[in-house]
């Protein structure tokens, strides 16, 4: 008995979305470096918490944008080709996001 395998995906995230996500991640990276400098400079803890909260919100937005892009490209193709394994991976990713939010 052979196991049917789904054909490889022909689409990935939109290149514009990838660029947008990379820009967001670069800004987050800069913010993290800024918080590190704040700690080194013994800045006010309340100000550091504000920055950390902003970083967390920015990371959440990257996650949301990534999942939206994933739904708009990869999952639509998976649904069309019957690739249920990819849909299960997405379900697990969503469960992880919900658990950690």
| pLDDT for res 37 | 99
Give the CATH number of the domain where residue 78 resides.
1.20.58.1000
| pLDDT for res 50 | 98
| pLDDT for res 93 | 85
Q: Which residues, 6+ apart, have CB-to-CB distance to 31 below 8 Å?
A: 51, 54, 55, 58
Give domain status of residue 55, yes or no.
yes
- Judged on CB neighbours under 10 Å (0-12, 13-18, 19+), 77 is middle
The rounded distance, in Å, linking the Cα atoms of 17 and 14 is: 5
Give domain status of residue 8, yes or no.
no
| pLDDT for res 9 | 56
List the chain pLDDT tens, one digit each, 101 residues. Answer: 444 555 555 668 899 999 999 999 999 999 999 999 999 999 999 999 999 999 999 999 999 999 999 888 877 888 788 888 878 888 888 898 888 87
Q: Which domain holds residue 48?
A: 15-99
């Amino acid at each position: 008995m052979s196991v049917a395998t789904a054909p490889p995906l022909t689409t990935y995230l939109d290149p514009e979305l990838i660029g947008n996500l990379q820009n967001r991640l670069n800004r987050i990276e800069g913010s993290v470096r800024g918080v590190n400098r704040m700690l080194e400079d013994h800045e006010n803890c309340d100000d550091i918490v504000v920055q950390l909260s902003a970083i967390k919100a920015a990371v959440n937005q990257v996650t949301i944008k990534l999942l939206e892009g994933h739904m708009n490209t990869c999952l639509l193709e998976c649904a069309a080709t019957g690739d249920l394994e990819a849909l299960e991976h997405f379900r697990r990713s969503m469960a992880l996001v919900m658990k950690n939010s």
